[in-house]
Amino acid sequence: MSFRPNDRVYVDESKARGYYVVATASIMESVQVSERVLRDLLKPGQRRIHFKSEGDSRRRQIISRMCDLDLRASVWVVKHQSDKEARPLCLTALTEKAVDAGVAHLIIERDESLERADRRLIAEIFRRAGSSEMSYRHVAPHAHPLLWVSDAVAWCYSNGGDWIRRVDAIVDARVFRL
């Protein structure tokens, strides 16, 4: 993945047909514009875009707009292992890359049942790296629209076929079976 210094990185996962973790990176200067574009895609009454809840024609529309944005996404995939084993593998690889690249902020979609384990894992990575300037936090999915991009890419990869081709414009790295 081509994380860059001072990037803001948004992380979500899909647990369908394997374990997929996606990190969407944006330079800080592009975040507000990208978030505005994504919020404009919301239907009345919708707080967030959740790809598994959208119809195929709307998915195609959303992907098209996402691929027009200045974003880069990376996908980590682990198959044939439990979620409990796969998540730490993916999150470790992603966080180590982010720390090495000098990422400014790591924003992870909140899953309260996993947050404590995530914090321990990230703290260990920071300790091994001799600290880190990177901040991180777990947030609700509606709080940051760029999380929706990670959700969409994860959904596309877990569903395969033409869906992967559709998001390929923003996916710059894939790591299978860590």
> What letter represents residue 115's amino acid?
E
pLDDT of 177 higher than 90:
no
Q: What is the pTM of this model?
A: 0.95
Confidence of residue 133 (pLDDT cuts 50, 70, 90): confident
For the residues 112-126, what does the mean pLDDT come to? Answer: 94
Residue 178 to residue 169: CA distance in whole angstroms: 23
Residue 137 to residue 110: CA distance in whole angstroms: 9
Cα–Cα nearest to 3, from 128, 94, 137: 94
Kindly list the structural domains of the chain, giving each domain's residue range(s) and its CATH number in brackets, ordered by start.
7-176 (3.30.420.10)
Q: Are 102 and 6 in contact (CB under 8 A)?
A: yes
Write down the mean pLDDT value for the chain.
94
pLDDT of 132 higher than 80:
no
List the structure tokens of 171: 């996916």
pLDDT of 19 higher than 70:
yes
Residue 97 is predicted with a pLDDT of 94
Chain mean position to CA 154: 8
pLDDT of 1 higher than 60:
no
Please state, as a whole number, how many other Cβ atoms lie within 10 Å of the Cβ of residue 137: 13
pLDDT of 2 higher than 80:
no
Give the containing element (helix H, strand E) for 40. Answer: none
